[in-house]
A and B are shown apart, each in its own frame.
Chain A
Protein backbone atom coordinates (compact mmCIF):
# COMPACT_ATOMS: atom_id res chain seq x y z
CA UNK A 1 0.00 0.00 0.00
CA UNK A 2 1.23 3.49 -0.88
CA UNK A 3 0.47 6.62 1.17
CA UNK A 4 0.94 10.08 -0.29
CA UNK A 5 2.66 12.79 1.73
CA UNK A 6 2.76 16.33 0.41
CA UNK A 7 4.63 19.36 1.73
CA UNK A 8 5.90 22.70 0.53
CA UNK A 9 9.60 22.55 1.40
CA UNK A 10 12.75 21.69 -0.49
CA UNK A 11 14.40 18.32 0.00
CA UNK A 12 17.17 19.89 2.11
CA UNK A 13 14.69 21.28 4.64
CA UNK A 14 14.35 19.80 8.14
CA UNK A 15 10.63 19.25 7.59
CA UNK A 16 11.38 17.12 4.55
CA UNK A 17 13.93 15.18 6.58
CA UNK A 18 11.28 14.44 9.20
CA UNK A 19 8.94 13.11 6.51
CA UNK A 20 11.75 11.16 4.85
CA UNK A 21 12.73 9.63 8.18
CA UNK A 22 9.21 8.28 8.69
CA UNK A 23 9.11 6.95 5.13
CA UNK A 24 12.48 5.20 5.62
CA UNK A 25 11.60 3.77 9.04
CA UNK A 26 8.29 2.40 7.81
CA UNK A 27 10.00 0.89 4.77
CA UNK A 28 12.61 -0.79 7.01
CA UNK A 29 9.83 -2.27 9.17
CA UNK A 30 8.63 -4.23 6.11
CA UNK A 31 4.91 -3.94 6.87
CA UNK A 32 3.94 -3.51 3.23
CA UNK A 33 3.59 0.25 3.59
CA UNK A 34 5.23 2.71 1.22
CA UNK A 35 5.20 6.48 1.80
CA UNK A 36 5.63 8.56 -1.33
CA UNK A 37 6.74 12.14 -0.65
CA UNK A 38 5.80 15.05 -2.94
CA UNK A 39 8.11 17.92 -1.88
CA UNK A 40 8.14 21.61 -2.93
CA UNK A 41 4.38 21.83 -3.56
CA UNK A 42 4.73 19.41 -6.46
CA UNK A 43 1.30 17.91 -5.77
CA UNK A 44 -0.73 20.47 -3.80
CA UNK A 45 0.05 24.11 -3.09
CA UNK A 46 1.01 24.87 0.50
CA UNK A 47 -2.29 26.33 1.59
CA UNK A 48 -4.38 23.83 -0.35
CA UNK A 49 -3.27 20.73 1.52
CA UNK A 50 -5.64 20.81 4.47
CA UNK A 51 -8.92 20.31 2.58
CA UNK A 52 -7.79 17.20 0.61
CA UNK A 53 -6.16 15.90 3.82
CA UNK A 54 -9.43 16.17 5.73
CA UNK A 55 -11.29 14.53 2.84
CA UNK A 56 -8.83 11.63 2.71
CA UNK A 57 -7.59 12.46 -0.77
CA UNK A 58 -4.18 13.29 0.65
CA UNK A 59 -2.88 10.87 3.29
CA UNK A 60 -0.20 12.89 5.08
CA UNK A 61 1.31 16.36 5.15
CA UNK A 62 3.75 18.49 7.11
CA UNK A 63 1.80 21.69 7.54
CA UNK A 64 1.95 24.92 9.54
CA UNK A 65 -1.41 24.40 11.19
CA UNK A 66 -2.25 28.10 11.16
CA UNK A 67 -2.52 27.86 7.34
CA UNK A 68 -5.90 26.27 8.04
CA UNK A 69 -6.82 29.09 10.42
CA UNK A 70 -9.41 30.35 7.96
CA UNK A 71 -11.30 27.07 8.33
CA UNK A 72 -10.60 26.53 12.04
CA UNK A 73 -9.87 29.89 13.74
CA UNK A 74 -8.64 28.02 16.86
CA UNK A 75 -5.53 27.09 14.87
CA UNK A 76 -4.46 30.74 14.80
CA UNK A 77 -3.28 30.24 18.37
CA UNK A 78 -0.51 27.96 17.05
CA UNK A 79 1.24 31.04 15.62
CA UNK A 80 0.77 33.70 18.28
CA UNK A 81 3.57 36.17 19.20
CA UNK A 82 5.21 35.55 22.57
CA UNK A 83 3.07 32.54 23.45
CA UNK A 84 6.00 30.13 23.27
CA UNK A 85 9.21 31.06 25.08
CA UNK A 86 11.67 28.47 23.74
CA UNK A 87 11.85 24.98 22.25
CA UNK A 88 11.60 23.17 25.60
CA UNK A 89 8.56 25.23 26.48
CA UNK A 90 7.11 24.31 23.07
CA UNK A 91 7.65 20.63 23.85
CA UNK A 92 5.74 21.05 27.16
CA UNK A 93 2.97 22.89 25.31
CA UNK A 94 2.60 19.90 22.98
CA UNK A 95 1.66 17.72 25.96
CA UNK A 96 -0.77 20.22 27.49
CA UNK A 97 -4.60 20.43 27.64
CA UNK A 98 -4.29 23.33 25.18
CA UNK A 99 -2.85 21.08 22.49
CA UNK A 100 -5.36 18.40 23.42
CA UNK A 101 -8.14 20.78 22.48
CA UNK A 102 -6.43 21.76 19.22
CA UNK A 103 -6.12 18.07 18.37
CA UNK A 104 -9.76 17.51 19.21
CA UNK A 105 -10.64 20.23 16.72
CA UNK A 106 -8.46 18.54 14.10
CA UNK A 107 -10.18 15.22 14.80
CA UNK A 108 -13.49 16.85 13.83
CA UNK A 109 -11.93 17.32 10.38
CA UNK A 110 -10.78 13.66 10.37
CA UNK A 111 -7.18 14.71 10.93
CA UNK A 112 -4.68 13.34 13.48
CA UNK A 113 -1.24 14.53 14.50
CA UNK A 114 1.60 12.02 14.10
CA UNK A 115 4.58 14.25 14.90
CA UNK A 116 4.45 17.40 17.01
CA UNK A 117 6.90 20.14 16.30
CA UNK A 118 7.50 23.85 16.58
CA UNK A 119 9.95 25.93 14.57
CA UNK A 120 11.19 29.35 15.66
CA UNK A 121 11.89 32.43 13.63
CA UNK A 122 13.11 36.00 13.77
CA UNK A 123 13.35 39.30 11.96
CA UNK A 124 15.52 40.72 9.21
CA UNK A 125 15.99 44.37 8.34
CA UNK A 126 17.16 45.61 4.95
CA UNK A 127 19.00 48.65 6.30
CA UNK A 128 18.86 48.42 10.09
CA UNK A 129 18.19 46.02 12.94
CA UNK A 130 14.69 45.19 14.10
CA UNK A 131 14.70 43.98 17.70
CA UNK A 132 12.06 45.98 19.60
CA UNK A 133 8.67 47.45 18.64
CA UNK A 134 10.19 50.94 18.31
CA UNK A 135 12.39 49.74 15.41
CA UNK A 136 9.35 48.84 13.34
CA UNK A 137 7.89 52.34 13.06
CA UNK A 138 7.38 53.30 9.41
CA UNK A 139 8.90 50.17 7.88
CA UNK A 140 7.31 48.28 4.99
CA UNK A 141 7.08 44.76 6.30
CA UNK A 142 5.90 41.35 5.23
CA UNK A 143 4.99 39.18 8.19
CA UNK A 144 4.41 35.44 8.30
CA UNK A 145 1.02 34.99 9.85
CA UNK A 146 -2.05 37.02 10.65
CA UNK A 147 -1.30 37.52 14.37
CA UNK A 148 2.14 38.90 13.53
CA UNK A 149 0.72 41.27 10.95
CA UNK A 150 -1.69 42.62 13.59
CA UNK A 151 1.11 43.07 16.13
CA UNK A 152 3.53 44.70 13.67
CA UNK A 153 0.81 47.05 12.44
CA UNK A 154 0.33 47.95 16.12
CA UNK A 155 4.03 48.83 16.24
CA UNK A 156 3.53 51.32 13.41
CA UNK A 157 4.84 49.17 10.58
CA UNK A 158 3.14 49.13 7.21
CA UNK A 159 2.09 45.68 6.14
CA UNK A 160 2.69 44.66 2.54
CA UNK A 161 1.07 41.36 1.76
CA UNK A 162 2.83 39.31 -0.90
CA UNK A 163 3.66 35.69 -1.54
CA UNK A 164 6.79 34.30 0.08
CA UNK A 165 8.41 33.84 -3.32
CA UNK A 166 8.35 37.62 -3.82
CA UNK A 167 10.16 38.48 -0.54
CA UNK A 168 13.60 38.12 -2.05
CA UNK A 169 13.09 40.45 -5.00
CA UNK A 170 10.93 42.83 -2.94
CA UNK A 171 13.80 43.26 -0.49
CA UNK A 172 16.27 43.51 -3.35
CA UNK A 173 14.45 46.42 -5.02
CA UNK A 174 13.52 48.03 -1.71
CA UNK A 175 9.77 47.44 -1.75
CA UNK A 176 10.23 45.75 1.65
CA UNK A 177 12.33 47.12 4.53
CA UNK A 178 11.86 44.18 6.90
CA UNK A 179 10.49 40.68 7.05
CA UNK A 180 9.66 38.04 9.63
CA UNK A 181 9.47 34.29 9.14
CA UNK A 182 11.02 31.03 10.37
CA UNK A 183 14.79 30.77 10.61
CA UNK A 184 14.78 27.83 8.20
CA UNK A 185 12.86 29.83 5.62
CA UNK A 186 15.23 32.77 6.00
CA UNK A 187 18.05 30.40 5.13
CA UNK A 188 16.31 28.47 2.36
CA UNK A 189 15.04 31.65 0.65
CA UNK A 190 18.58 33.07 1.01
CA UNK A 191 17.34 36.29 2.56
CA UNK A 192 20.87 36.81 3.95
CA UNK A 193 21.83 38.00 0.48
CA UNK A 194 19.49 40.96 0.93
CA UNK A 195 19.54 41.76 4.67
CA UNK A 196 21.76 44.12 6.67
CA UNK A 197 20.75 42.81 10.07
CA UNK A 198 19.27 39.58 11.46
CA UNK A 199 17.59 38.99 14.79
CA UNK A 200 17.63 35.22 15.21
CA UNK A 201 15.59 33.32 17.78
CA UNK A 202 17.87 33.10 20.81
CA UNK A 203 17.23 33.39 24.54
CA UNK A 204 14.17 35.38 23.60
CA UNK A 205 12.15 34.51 20.54
CA UNK A 206 8.80 35.84 19.57
CA UNK A 207 7.97 33.72 16.59
CA UNK A 208 7.12 30.06 17.10
CA UNK A 209 4.99 28.17 14.62
CA UNK A 210 3.42 24.76 15.15
CA UNK A 211 4.21 22.64 12.09
CA UNK A 212 3.14 19.07 12.78
CA UNK A 213 3.10 16.04 10.53
CA UNK A 214 -0.59 15.32 10.02
CA UNK A 215 -2.42 12.29 8.75
CA UNK A 216 -5.96 11.53 7.69
CA UNK A 217 -7.64 9.66 10.55
CA UNK A 218 -9.78 7.32 8.44
CA UNK A 219 -6.71 6.32 6.42
CA UNK A 220 -4.78 5.64 9.62
CA UNK A 221 -7.63 3.59 11.11
CA UNK A 222 -7.76 1.56 7.89
CA UNK A 223 -4.16 0.36 8.29
CA UNK A 224 -3.33 -3.03 9.80
CA UNK A 225 -2.11 -3.20 13.42
CA UNK A 226 1.44 -3.88 12.23
CA UNK A 227 1.36 -0.88 9.94
CA UNK A 228 -0.02 1.40 12.66
CA UNK A 229 2.62 0.23 15.13
CA UNK A 230 5.41 0.80 12.61
CA UNK A 231 4.07 4.24 11.74
CA UNK A 232 3.75 5.30 15.39
CA UNK A 233 7.24 4.00 16.22
CA UNK A 234 8.65 5.95 13.29
CA UNK A 235 6.71 9.03 14.41
CA UNK A 236 8.19 8.84 17.95
CA UNK A 237 11.67 8.64 16.56
CA UNK A 238 11.03 11.50 14.13
CA UNK A 239 9.63 13.70 16.90
CA UNK A 240 12.88 13.48 18.90
CA UNK A 241 14.86 14.28 15.75
CA UNK A 242 12.54 17.20 14.88
CA UNK A 243 13.03 18.86 18.30
CA UNK A 244 16.82 18.52 18.13
CA UNK A 245 16.93 19.82 14.58
CA UNK A 246 14.58 22.72 15.41
CA UNK A 247 17.06 23.89 18.04
CA UNK A 248 19.95 23.41 15.63
CA UNK A 249 18.18 25.34 12.84
CA UNK A 250 18.24 28.51 14.95
CA UNK A 251 21.95 28.20 15.64
CA UNK A 252 22.60 27.33 11.99
CA UNK A 253 20.67 30.33 10.72
CA UNK A 254 22.71 32.58 13.03
CA UNK A 255 25.89 31.06 11.57
CA UNK A 256 24.76 31.32 7.94
CA UNK A 257 23.78 34.98 8.30
CA UNK A 258 26.99 35.81 10.17
CA UNK A 259 29.06 34.05 7.50
CA UNK A 260 27.28 36.09 4.85
CA UNK A 261 28.45 39.25 6.64
CA UNK A 262 25.04 40.16 8.04
CA UNK A 263 25.00 41.92 11.41
CA UNK A 264 23.48 39.74 14.17
CA UNK A 265 21.60 41.51 16.95
CA UNK A 266 19.70 39.61 19.62
CA UNK A 267 16.45 40.66 21.23
CA UNK A 268 16.78 41.80 24.88
CA UNK A 269 14.47 40.80 27.75
CA UNK A 270 12.94 44.30 27.82
CA UNK A 271 12.27 44.23 24.10
CA UNK A 272 10.65 40.82 24.38
CA UNK A 273 8.33 42.09 27.13
CA UNK A 274 7.48 45.20 25.07
CA UNK A 275 6.53 43.00 22.10
CA UNK A 276 4.46 40.77 24.33
CA UNK A 277 2.58 43.71 25.85
CA UNK A 278 1.88 44.98 22.33
CA UNK A 279 0.69 41.53 21.24
CA UNK A 280 -1.71 41.40 24.20
CA UNK A 281 -3.37 44.59 22.98
CA UNK A 282 -3.41 43.65 19.29
CA UNK A 283 -3.24 39.99 18.22
CA UNK A 284 -4.53 38.37 21.44
CA UNK A 285 -7.48 40.77 21.62
CA UNK A 286 -8.33 40.20 17.97
CA UNK A 287 -8.15 36.42 18.46
CA UNK A 288 -10.45 36.44 21.48
CA UNK A 289 -12.95 38.64 19.65
CA UNK A 290 -12.95 36.42 16.58
CA UNK A 291 -13.07 32.94 18.11
CA UNK A 292 -15.98 31.69 20.24
CA UNK A 293 -14.41 30.30 23.41
CA UNK A 294 -11.14 31.93 22.38
CA UNK A 295 -10.36 33.36 25.83
CA UNK A 296 -10.64 29.94 27.44
CA UNK A 297 -8.31 28.38 24.87
CA UNK A 298 -5.83 31.24 25.23
CA UNK A 299 -5.84 30.83 29.02
CA UNK A 300 -5.12 27.12 28.63
CA UNK A 301 -2.12 27.96 26.45
CA UNK A 302 -0.88 30.67 28.83
CA UNK A 303 -1.21 28.27 31.77
CA UNK A 304 1.59 26.05 30.45
CA UNK A 305 4.73 26.75 32.46
Chain B
Protein backbone atom coordinates (compact mmCIF):
# COMPACT_ATOMS: atom_id res chain seq x y z
CA UNK B 1 0.00 0.00 0.00
CA UNK B 2 2.96 2.30 0.44
CA UNK B 3 4.16 1.53 -3.05
CA UNK B 4 7.37 -0.01 -1.75
CA UNK B 5 6.65 -3.57 -2.94
CA UNK B 6 8.65 -3.10 -6.10
CA UNK B 7 11.82 -1.11 -6.52
CA UNK B 8 15.49 -1.06 -5.71
CA UNK B 9 17.79 0.59 -3.18
CA UNK B 10 17.46 4.00 -4.81
CA UNK B 11 13.65 4.17 -4.89
CA UNK B 12 13.39 2.62 -1.41
CA UNK B 13 15.81 5.11 0.14
CA UNK B 14 14.15 8.09 -1.48
CA UNK B 15 10.77 6.66 -0.47
CA UNK B 16 11.90 6.51 3.13
CA UNK B 17 13.16 10.10 3.07
CA UNK B 18 9.79 11.19 1.72
CA UNK B 19 7.97 9.19 4.40
CA UNK B 20 10.01 10.82 7.15
CA UNK B 21 9.16 14.22 5.62
CA UNK B 22 5.51 13.14 5.81
CA UNK B 23 5.83 12.32 9.51
CA UNK B 24 7.36 15.72 10.15
CA UNK B 25 4.55 17.43 8.23
CA UNK B 26 1.86 15.52 10.16
CA UNK B 27 3.53 16.45 13.46
CA UNK B 28 3.60 20.12 12.48
CA UNK B 29 -0.14 20.08 11.71
CA UNK B 30 -0.93 18.49 15.09
CA UNK B 31 1.26 21.03 16.87
CA UNK B 32 -0.57 23.82 14.98
CA UNK B 33 -3.92 22.48 16.25
CA UNK B 34 -2.59 22.32 19.81
CA UNK B 35 -1.13 25.85 19.69
CA UNK B 36 -4.37 27.29 18.30
CA UNK B 37 -6.30 25.72 21.17
CA UNK B 38 -3.70 26.99 23.64
CA UNK B 39 -4.09 30.48 22.15
CA UNK B 40 -7.86 30.46 22.57
CA UNK B 41 -7.39 29.27 26.18
CA UNK B 42 -4.80 31.95 27.00
CA UNK B 43 -6.92 34.69 25.51
CA UNK B 44 -10.40 33.65 26.62
CA UNK B 45 -9.77 31.99 29.97
CA UNK B 46 -6.62 33.77 31.20
CA UNK B 47 -7.35 37.02 29.28
CA UNK B 48 -3.64 37.41 28.52
CA UNK B 49 -1.67 38.41 25.45
CA UNK B 50 -1.26 36.03 22.54
CA UNK B 51 1.76 37.47 20.78
CA UNK B 52 3.43 34.59 18.99
CA UNK B 53 0.71 31.99 18.43
CA UNK B 54 -0.93 33.21 15.22
CA UNK B 55 2.39 33.61 13.46
CA UNK B 56 3.72 30.32 14.75
CA UNK B 57 0.61 28.45 13.59
CA UNK B 58 0.72 30.03 10.12
CA UNK B 59 4.38 29.13 9.67
CA UNK B 60 3.77 25.59 10.93
CA UNK B 61 0.95 25.02 8.43
CA UNK B 62 2.98 26.48 5.55
CA UNK B 63 6.00 24.38 6.50
CA UNK B 64 3.82 21.29 6.85
CA UNK B 65 2.46 21.90 3.35
CA UNK B 66 5.89 22.31 1.77
CA UNK B 67 7.68 19.57 3.70
CA UNK B 68 4.72 17.23 3.12
CA UNK B 69 4.98 17.57 -0.68
CA UNK B 70 7.41 14.66 -1.30
CA UNK B 71 5.36 12.30 0.88
CA UNK B 72 2.15 13.14 -0.96
CA UNK B 73 3.99 12.68 -4.28
CA UNK B 74 5.09 9.26 -3.12
CA UNK B 75 1.51 8.30 -2.18
CA UNK B 76 0.34 9.66 -5.58
CA UNK B 77 -1.81 12.03 -3.54
CA UNK B 78 -1.35 15.06 -5.83
CA UNK B 79 -4.51 15.20 -7.92
CA UNK B 80 -4.00 15.00 -11.67
CA UNK B 81 -6.31 14.82 -14.68
CA UNK B 82 -5.07 12.14 -17.08
CA UNK B 83 -7.59 12.58 -19.91
CA UNK B 84 -4.90 12.82 -22.59
CA UNK B 85 -2.67 9.94 -21.33
CA UNK B 86 -5.69 7.60 -21.11
CA UNK B 87 -6.54 8.33 -24.74
CA UNK B 88 -3.01 7.51 -25.91
CA UNK B 89 -1.58 4.09 -26.87
CA UNK B 90 1.14 2.72 -24.51
CA UNK B 91 4.17 4.00 -26.49
CA UNK B 92 3.21 7.67 -26.82
CA UNK B 93 1.81 7.50 -23.29
CA UNK B 94 5.26 6.54 -22.00
CA UNK B 95 6.79 9.43 -23.98
CA UNK B 96 4.17 11.77 -22.55
CA UNK B 97 4.97 10.56 -19.04
CA UNK B 98 8.66 11.38 -19.46
CA UNK B 99 7.70 14.76 -20.93
CA UNK B 100 5.31 15.84 -18.18
CA UNK B 101 7.46 14.52 -15.36
CA UNK B 102 10.60 16.23 -16.71
CA UNK B 103 8.69 19.50 -17.00
CA UNK B 104 7.39 18.99 -13.45
CA UNK B 105 10.84 18.18 -12.09
CA UNK B 106 12.31 21.19 -13.89
CA UNK B 107 9.81 23.67 -12.43
CA UNK B 108 10.21 22.18 -8.96
CA UNK B 109 14.01 22.39 -9.33
CA UNK B 110 13.63 26.07 -10.29
CA UNK B 111 11.45 26.63 -7.23
CA UNK B 112 14.10 24.88 -5.11
CA UNK B 113 16.88 27.06 -6.51
CA UNK B 114 15.12 30.41 -6.09
CA UNK B 115 13.65 29.23 -2.78
CA UNK B 116 17.19 28.56 -1.56
CA UNK B 117 18.28 32.00 -2.79
CA UNK B 118 15.35 33.62 -1.00
CA UNK B 119 16.18 31.68 2.15
CA UNK B 120 19.83 32.73 1.90
CA UNK B 121 18.90 36.42 1.57
CA UNK B 122 16.67 36.24 4.64
CA UNK B 123 19.40 34.43 6.55
CA UNK B 124 22.35 36.58 5.56
CA UNK B 125 20.50 39.88 6.07
CA UNK B 126 18.92 38.77 9.33
CA UNK B 127 15.35 39.44 8.17
CA UNK B 128 12.72 39.17 10.86
CA UNK B 129 8.94 39.39 10.77
CA UNK B 130 7.69 42.89 11.66
CA UNK B 131 5.92 41.77 14.84
CA UNK B 132 6.76 41.93 18.53
CA UNK B 133 7.76 38.28 18.34
CA UNK B 134 10.02 39.13 15.40
CA UNK B 135 10.75 35.56 14.28
CA UNK B 136 13.92 35.06 12.24
CA UNK B 137 12.41 34.51 8.81
CA UNK B 138 15.05 32.09 7.57
CA UNK B 139 13.53 29.45 9.84
CA UNK B 140 10.11 29.25 8.12
CA UNK B 141 11.65 30.06 4.71
CA UNK B 142 13.88 26.98 5.07
CA UNK B 143 10.82 24.86 4.31
CA UNK B 144 10.78 26.18 0.71
CA UNK B 145 14.11 24.70 -0.50
CA UNK B 146 13.74 21.63 1.72
CA UNK B 147 10.18 20.82 0.63
CA UNK B 148 10.72 21.47 -3.07
CA UNK B 149 14.14 19.83 -3.04
CA UNK B 150 12.75 16.60 -1.60
CA UNK B 151 9.78 16.78 -3.97
CA UNK B 152 12.17 16.99 -6.93
CA UNK B 153 14.05 14.01 -5.52
CA UNK B 154 10.86 11.95 -5.22
CA UNK B 155 9.88 12.92 -8.79
CA UNK B 156 13.24 11.74 -10.10
CA UNK B 157 12.71 8.51 -8.21
CA UNK B 158 9.30 8.13 -9.88
CA UNK B 159 10.87 8.54 -13.34
CA UNK B 160 13.53 5.99 -12.37
CA UNK B 161 10.82 3.53 -11.24
CA UNK B 162 9.08 3.76 -14.63
CA UNK B 163 12.36 3.53 -16.55
CA UNK B 164 13.31 0.38 -14.59
CA UNK B 165 9.85 -1.09 -15.06
CA UNK B 166 8.85 -1.06 -11.37
CA UNK B 167 5.91 1.12 -12.22
CA UNK B 168 3.71 1.98 -15.22
CA UNK B 169 3.53 5.49 -16.70
CA UNK B 170 0.77 7.42 -14.83
CA UNK B 171 0.08 4.12 -13.01
CA UNK B 172 -2.07 3.09 -16.00
CA UNK B 173 -2.01 -0.50 -17.32
CA UNK B 174 -0.91 -0.94 -20.94
CA UNK B 175 -4.17 -2.50 -22.04
CA UNK B 176 -7.46 -0.67 -21.88
CA UNK B 177 -6.75 1.78 -19.03
CA UNK B 178 -10.33 3.06 -18.98
CA UNK B 179 -11.79 -0.37 -18.32
CA UNK B 180 -9.22 -0.98 -15.58
CA UNK B 181 -10.10 2.38 -14.03
CA UNK B 182 -13.81 1.50 -14.11
CA UNK B 183 -13.13 -1.94 -12.61
CA UNK B 184 -11.14 -0.49 -9.73
CA UNK B 185 -13.91 2.07 -9.17
CA UNK B 186 -16.51 -0.69 -9.06
CA UNK B 187 -14.36 -2.62 -6.60
CA UNK B 188 -13.95 0.45 -4.39
CA UNK B 189 -17.72 0.86 -4.35
CA UNK B 190 -18.41 -2.80 -3.46
B49 and A66: CB pair below 8 A?
A: no
A70 and B130: CB pair below 8 A?
A: yes
Q: How far is the CA of A149 from the CA of B55 in the complex (A)?
A: 15
- Given A69-B130, A70-B134: A161 and B43 within 8 A (CB)? no
In angstroms, how far is the closest chain B Cβ from the Cβ of A73? Answer: 8
B130 and A158: CB pair below 8 A?
A: no
Q: How far is the CA of A150 from the CA of B132 in the complex (A)?
A: 7
Q: How far is the CA of A140 from the CA of B39 in the complex (A)?
A: 13
- Given A70-B128, A71-B127, A140-B43: A158 and B134 within 8 A (CB)? no
Q: How far is the CA of A175 from the CA of B42 in the complex (A)?
A: 12
Residues of A within 8 Å of B129, CB to CB, are 70
- Given A70-B137, A149-B51, A153-B49: A160 and B131 within 8 A (CB)? no
B38 touches A (CB below 8 Å): no
B47 and A161: CB pair below 8 A?
A: no
A14 touches B (CB below 8 Å): no
Residues of B within 8 Å of A300, CB to CB, are none
A161 and B125: CB pair below 8 A?
A: no
In angstroms, how far is the closest chain A Cβ from the Cβ of B91? Answer: 43
B50 and A160: CB pair below 8 A?
A: yes
Q: How far is the CA of A76 from the CA of B56 in the complex (A)?
A: 22
| Interface residue total, chain A, C-beta cutoff 8 A | 21
B104 touches A (CB below 8 Å): no
Residues of A within 8 Å of B43, CB to CB, are 140, 158, 160, 175
Residues of A within 8 Å of B50, CB to CB, are 158-161
Since A70-B137, A158-B49, A158-B50 are in contact, a sample of 16 more A-B pairs with Cβ atoms closer than 8 Å, ordered by chain A residue number, is A47-B130, A66-B130, A67-B130, A70-B127, A140-B47, A146-B130, A146-B131, A146-B134, A149-B51, A153-B51, A157-B49, A159-B50, A159-B132, A160-B43, A160-B49, A161-B50
B residues lining the A interface (CB < 8 Å) = 43, 47-51, 53-55, 125, 127-132, 134, 137
Between-chain CB contacts (< 8 Å), 17 pairs: A47-B130, A68-B130, A70-B129, A70-B137, A138-B47, A149-B51, A149-B131, A150-B132, A153-B132, A158-B43, A158-B48, A159-B51, A161-B51, A161-B53, A161-B54, A161-B131, A175-B43
